[in-house]
Amino acid sequence: MKEIKLMKGNEAIAEAAIRCGADGYFGYPITPQSEVMETLMALKPWETTGMVVLQAESEIASINMVYGGAGCGKKVLTSSSSPGVSLMQEGLTYLAGAELPCVVVNVVRGGPGLGTIQPAQSDYFQAVKGGGHGDYKLIVLAPASVQEMADFVDLAFDLAFKYRNPAFILTDGVIGQMMEKVELAPFKPRWTNEEIEKNHPWATMGKKQRKERNVITSVELDPYKHEDLNKKLQAKYRLIQETEVRLEMIACEDADYLLVAYGASARICEKAVEVARSKGIKVGLLRPITLFPFPTLEIKRLAAQVKGILSVEMSAGQMVEDVRLAANGVVRVEHFGRLGGIIHSPSEVVEALENFFLKA
């Protein structure tokens, strides 16, 4: 029987983490995502699945607790919002450098600085381009509904372990706070230590009967060896780019104009497509579900079909750079978005589209 619940996006993250067999959550309160840890603490999974939930002294500590747990081959996650995720950047580059799988959720709020607690999409660059020091990538998923908030926790863990790479859920205060109905996945059992040892032989669980000790590290002082390590990472990112692109296309077949938007902006743009089409403008929507890997090839293909592309994000224009790279000059690409916690309306999006492309 289907289990359907009305819940907030943040609550869905918590519920899904328990159900997908996560071993640990480490976090620090910050608006607008505190419901993730609050829900976990209220559900007391340590009494049912054995999942550890711990409030850390800072986001720096949370991400390093995640590092410790991930190094043991455990399914561990943390969540935060923009200022807190800035503090995690050091940990994230170490996790990427040591090739550790984990899940990190950013329920984005407006910046820069302390900014606002209202929703924004202004952390795209930080999530998609690395964020910390060094050449690395996170696998970035962008849910656009509470259902996807729930589903993507499990998916993020799958991808993280498949590629031994941190997976990032880039969402925003709209999706985190809004309530929708969610079909919950059945409970998966947590991995046993024996299963982890067998499937993830790199994990540090004590040397046991292994001949060689396991060392989780990202340091290599020999530059030639370190260049090789970097090349190996880049090869992995290329494989992810070739294999894991996920996207949704709405009304693109006959589109003269294309909107590109993710997360809450994509939900708004769905409505904008309807509004535009009711006015006789043939508009389609491409929604990247993965922001890294970015759906470059699909945008390139559509660039040859349409007369203009509008990238819509609650930022000053970040994803638009990747859309422009994908379109590669074949068609004009513009950006529209409200800033600082303001959410654009569907009619504002259509108006922007008209102003850019339909007025002489």
Partner 1 sequence: MIDTVNPIIAPENLIYAKSEVLLDNIMHYCPGCSHGVVNKLIAEVIEDMGIQQTTIGIAPVGCAVFAYNYLDIDWQEASHGRAPAVATGVKRLLPDTFVFSYQGDGDLAAIGTAETIHACNRGENIVMVFVNNGIYGMTGGQMAPTTLPGMQSSTCPFGREASRDGHPLKITELLAQLPGTSYVTRQAVHTAASVRKTKKALRLAFENQKLNKGTSVIEVVATCSSGWKMTPVQANKWMEENMFAYYPLGDMKNE
Q: Is there binding between residue 147 and partner 1 (CB under 8 A)?
A: no
Interaction of residue 218 with partner 1, rule CB under 8 A: yes
The stretch among 1-9, 30-38, 52-60, 179-187 that binds partner 1 (CB under 8 A) is 52-60
Closer to partner 1 by CB, 29 or 68: give it. Answer: 68
Please tell me the total number of residues recorded for the chain in this structure.
360
Q: Is 64 in the site for partner 1 (CB under 8 A)?
A: yes
Enumerate residues 155-214 that contact partner 1 by CB under 8 A. Answer: 193, 204-209, 213-214
The amino acid at 250: I
Task: Considering the complex, state which of residue 90 and residue 348 has its C-beta at the smaller distance from partner 1.
Answer: 90
Q: How far is the CB of 10 from partner 1 (least distance, A)?
A: 22
Contact 208, 201 (CB under 8 A): no
CB of 157 to partner 1, least distance (A): 15
Site residues for partner 1, 10-39, by CB under 8 A, read 23-24, 26
Of the candidate spans 89-97, 176-184, 236-244, 316-324, the one that interacts with partner 1 by CB under 8 A turns out to be: 89-97
Chain mean position to CA 245: 13
Minimum CB separation of residue 172 from partner 1 in Å reads 27
**3-state secondary structure (DSSP) of residue 95:** helix
In terms of CB distance, is 136 or 357 closer to partner 1? 136
Minimum Å gap between C-beta 93 and partner 1 is: 9
Q: Whose CA is closest to 63, among 86, 42, 35, 30?
A: 86
Q: Measured from the CB atom, is 102 or 350 closer to partner 1? A: 102
For tokens 């043991």, name the residue: 72
Is the omega angle on the peptide bond into residue 346 within 30 degrees of 0, that is, cis? no
# residues contacting partner 1 (CB under 8 A): 40
**Considering the complex, what minimum distance in angstroms separates the CB of residue 30 from partner 1?**
16
Instruction: Specify the long-range contacts of residues 233-238, CB closer than 8 Å, at least 24 apart.
Output: 233/96, 233/99, 233/135, 233/136, 234/135, 236/163, 236/165, 237/137
Which residues are paired to 3 by β-bridges?
A: 184
By CB under 8 A, residue 61 contacts partner 1: yes
Give the angle subtended at the CA of 275 by the CAs of 274 and 276, to the nearest 5°: 90
Q: How far apart are CA 21 and CA 19, in angstroms?
A: 5
CA distance 257 to 111: 30
In this structure, the number of other CB atoms found within 10 A of the CB of residue 3 comes to: 12
136 binds partner 1 (CB under 8 A): no
Q: Check: CB of residue 119 under 8 Å from CB of residue 344.
A: no
Q: Is 60 or 342 the residue whose CB approaches partner 1 more closely?
A: 60
Closest approach of Cβ 359 to partner 1, in Å?
A: 53
Asked whether position 360 contacts partner 1 by CB under 8 A, the answer is no
Asked whether the beta carbons of 73 and 160 are under 8 A apart, the reply is no
Beta-bridge partner residues of 333 = 309
**Choices 90-98, 146-154, 181-189, 232-240 (CB under 8 A): range interacting with partner 1:** 90-98
Distance CA 176, CA 232 (A): 35
Q: Which is nearer to partner 1, 80 or 171 (CB)?
A: 80
Q: Which residues bind partner 1 (CB under 8 A)?
A: 23-24, 26, 52, 54, 56-58, 60-62, 64-72, 74, 76, 90-91, 94, 98, 193, 204-209, 213-219
